[in-house]
Amino acid sequence: HSMSLLSIALEVLCLIRDNPTITREELAVKLDTSIGTIGNAIKELRESELIDVERDGKGSRYLIRMTGQVYGVRHRLPVAVLVDSVMEVK
């Protein structure tokens, strides 16, 4: 699959936003990629401090940690805004 890790991470971010308790397996199926790649994308998002991961029973719950101004637009962000926010964190 030729998607870059950044584009996968952004897709993961959007899916997590819509479903905070989505599993890595579900993410892998939805994005047609491996669980390992999803793991790398989640690691990237955590290291960039864009998400937190909480244990939730047997699974995980993902919490998006974007700044108010970036995330203030009621959940309908263009990907460009997400990309900018990811780049700023680096």
pLDDT at 41 over 50: yes
pLDDT at 39: 94
In this structure, are residues 37 and 6 in contact, taking their beta carbons and an 8 Å threshold?
no
Convert the pLDDT of each residue in 42-53 to its tens digit.
Answer: 998 888 878 888
* Long-range contacts formed by 73-78: CB under 8 A, 24+ apart: 75/17
Residue type at position 87: M
pLDDT category of residue 62 using cuts at 50, 70 and 90: confident
Question: Is-above-0.85 flag for pTM?
Answer: no
Q: How many CA atoms lie within 13 A of 13 on its CB side?
A: 29
In this structure, are residues 71 and 60 in contact, taking their beta carbons and an 8 Å threshold?
no
pLDDT at 68: 41
Q: Residue 19: which residues within 8 A CB-CB, separation 6 or more?
A: none
